[in-house]
Amino acid sequence: MKYSKTIFAVTLAIASLGITVSAKADTVTARCDVFPRGEDRATSSGLCTFSQRQGFVSIELQDGRRYELSPVGDQPGNYLDQNGRAAYRQSGMGDGGHIYRLATESIFVYWDTTPYKEEPQNAQASNVQVGDPVPGLQDLVGARAGQAEDVVIQRGYEFVKSEPSGDSVYGYWRETRTNSCAVIRTADGRYKSIVYGLETSCDN
């Protein structure tokens, strides 16, 4: 009997340790863009904390706002928020992150936090090649130009100038972290490409 109790205690300790490790592994720093329902313009964009345990989802933004989603029903991806309102997870981002549709807003959770990583000034400048995609803005390719500009600014870019060419307009943006020049090509009202250009291209 004593031996059985010892085995049970050891098993319980190992199980508890496994739960702790699993819980820790399910909490990550991500990037969250928040959009009012039905709109393409984000009202906030920045680092956030994403947690998922046993189907329960928790998202905490940098400004302290917190979203608690509890699984409901037999269909995965359906939730109730902390106020008891329906919410669901939408597919479409593949391995890049999650999309959560709430009653009054949508939250896009990206695993890539590149735009908000703290790096020394000009840390990337020497590694940037002309024509390389700007990694922190690729999710905006295809977005409506006028509505995506606020997100570009929130992610640390300063508008310099724009130049028309054929059926496109090229916008030049200074990446404040590295002083590199990002070039956004717009056609038919949407961003078609976002790549690095010559640093001199961002001279006024």
Q: Please, what are the domains in the chain?
A: 27-110 (2.40.128.20), 119-202 (no CATH)
Token pair for 48: 């956030």
How high is the pLDDT of residue 92?
A: 83
d(CA 56, CA 78) in angstroms, rounded, equals 10
Rounded to two decimals, the pTM is 0.51
How high is the pLDDT of residue 68?
A: 96
Residues 6 or more apart whose CB falls under 8 angstroms from that of 8 comprise none
∠ CA 19-24-29, nearest 5°, is 155
How high is the pLDDT of residue 115?
A: 64
Report which of 52, 48, 64 is spatially closest to residue 27, judged by C-alpha positions: 52
∠ CA 129-135-137, nearest 5°, is 120
186 beta partners: 169, 191
Average pLDDT per 10 consecutive residues for the chain, totaling 204 residues:
46 40 62 87 85 93 90 93 95 89 94 63 57 89 90 93 89 91 92 88 83
How high is the pLDDT of residue 117?
A: 58
Distances (CA, A) of 99 to 4, 65, 92, 95: 48, 17, 8, 11
d(CA 151, CA 44) in angstroms, rounded, equals 8
First to last CA, the chain: 83
Phi, psi of 155 (to 5 degrees): -90, 10
How high is the pLDDT of residue 120?
A: 39
SS3 of 18, please? helix
